[in-house]
């Protein structure tokens, strides 16, 4: 039994008179400790795929299972608690500063303010942005916002982390650090499902898939496959 399984999932987007098919009988399996990245062009359906996989949207047809149970079933709400969907949208009502934004989900789960603060600070440190705790969300740059979004999900200790285009709008020098962070999270046993519109965003993935015309292509179930390196091998210089 896979941690996450999409079985013949289809989803239509209503745009214009005819609409378009975003997902066409998509199948995908994801195991704990895997980093799987889906590449696709703009309007390819990659964001829709991740929202369906996270249980935020129901498929038109097909089944999404998490830990073997249908996310659309009666236990779906509880199951979605094990899925962390990262978002860089920070609503003012969710807190004045970054640490407030991160601890809100912990407080909602019944933790005391002191325990929530401790958990939030730990998640921010794990994501590499502890120094941003007292900043306002509007003061974050692209890389910091992505890391805070990851921290907000990590604080809730999900089994699966879902993140759409983690390096979008991120300075070139900060991109590798975010990809390395996702790789390290997967190495610790959490499953990570990400999307990207750039081939550089596939670096470090256990499996790199592509989505186009509603069809997901690549190795759709876990197998031994070469990891995409973050950088190519460094060749020693020839001696003079």
* DSSP codes, 137-168: GGG--HHHHHHHHHHHHHTT--SEEEEE-TTT
Superfamily of domain 4-217: P-loop containing nucleotide triphosphate hydrolases (3.40.50.300)
More confident residue, 152 or 231: 152
At 73-102, the pLDDT tens digits run 766 676 778 999 999 999 999 999 999 999
Average pLDDT (107-120) is: 96
Sign of the CA dihedral 197, 199, 204, 209? positive
Q: What is the pLDDT of residues 198-210, one digit of tens each?
A: 999 999 999 999 9
Q: In whole angstroms, what is the distance from residue 120 CA to residue 100 CA?
A: 8
Banded model confidence at residue 43, pLDDT cuts 50, 70, 90: confident
Contact between 206 and 218 (Cβ < 8 Å): no
pLDDT bracket for residue 6 (50, 70, 90) = very high
Alpha-helical segments (H) within the chain: 46-53, 76-79, 98-108, 113-126, 142-154, 172-187
Residue 185 makes CB contacts below 8 A (sequence gap 6+) with 35, 150, 154, 161, 192
Tell whether pTM > 0.85.
yes
Domain boundaries, the chain: 4-217
């Amino acid at each position: 039994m896979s941690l996450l399984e999409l079985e013949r999932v289809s989803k239509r987007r209503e745009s214009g008179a005819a609409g378009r098919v975003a997902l066409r009988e998509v199948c995908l399996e994801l195991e704990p400790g895997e980093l799987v990245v889906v590449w696709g062009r703009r309007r390819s359906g990659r964001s829709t795929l991740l929202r369906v996989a996270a249980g935020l949207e129901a498929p038109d047809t097909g089944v999404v299972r998490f830990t073997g149970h249908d996310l659309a079933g009666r236990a779906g709400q509880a199951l979605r608690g094990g899925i962390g969907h990262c978002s860089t949208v920070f609503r003012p009502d969710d807190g004045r500063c970054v640490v407030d934004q991160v601890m809100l989900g912990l407080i909602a789960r019944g933790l005391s303010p002191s325990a929530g603060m401790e958990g939030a600070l730990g998640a921010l440190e794990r994501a590499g942005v502890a120094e941003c705790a007292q900043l306002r969300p509007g003061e974050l740059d692209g890389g910091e916002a992505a890391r805070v979004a990851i921290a907000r999900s990590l604080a809730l200790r999900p089994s699966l982390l879902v993140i759409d285009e983690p390096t979008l709008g991120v300075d070139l020098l900060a991109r590798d650090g975010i990809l390395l962070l996702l790789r390290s999270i997967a190495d610790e046993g959490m499953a990570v499902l990400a999307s990207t519109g750039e081939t550089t965003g596939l670096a470090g993935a256990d499996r790199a898939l592509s989505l186009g015309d509603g069809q997901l292509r690549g190795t759709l179930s876990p197998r031994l496959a070469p990891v995409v390196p973050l950088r190519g091998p460094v060749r020693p210089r020839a001696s003079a």
